[in-house]
Structure 1
Amino acid sequence: MRTRARTTLFAAAGIAAALSLGAITPALAGTSQQTGTKSAATAAAVQGDPRAATTRVADFYGAYIDSIWDNEDPAASANAKALRKFYLSPAEQKTVAAFEAKEHADGILFAQNVPVKWSATYTGSGAGHATSLVTLTWSDGQNPEVTKIKVQSDLQTRKITDLQPAG
Structure 2
Amino acid sequence: MHVSLRERIRQLHRVIGLSIGLFVVMVAVTGAGMLFREPLEPVIYHGLLKVESCKERLPLDTLIANASASNPAAGRPKQVRIYADADSSTRVLLSDDRWYYVNPCTGEVLGSEHRYGGLFGTMASLHSFQFVKNGSVVAGTLALTFAIVLVGGGLAVWIPEALRKRR
Report the TM-score, using the length of structure 1 for normalisation.
Answer: 0.23
Highest relative contact order (Cα 8 Å, sep 6+), 1 or 2? 2
Structure with greater proportional helix content: 2
Greater CA radius of gyration, 1 or 2? Answer: 2
Report the TM-score, using the length of structure 2 for normalisation.
Answer: 0.23
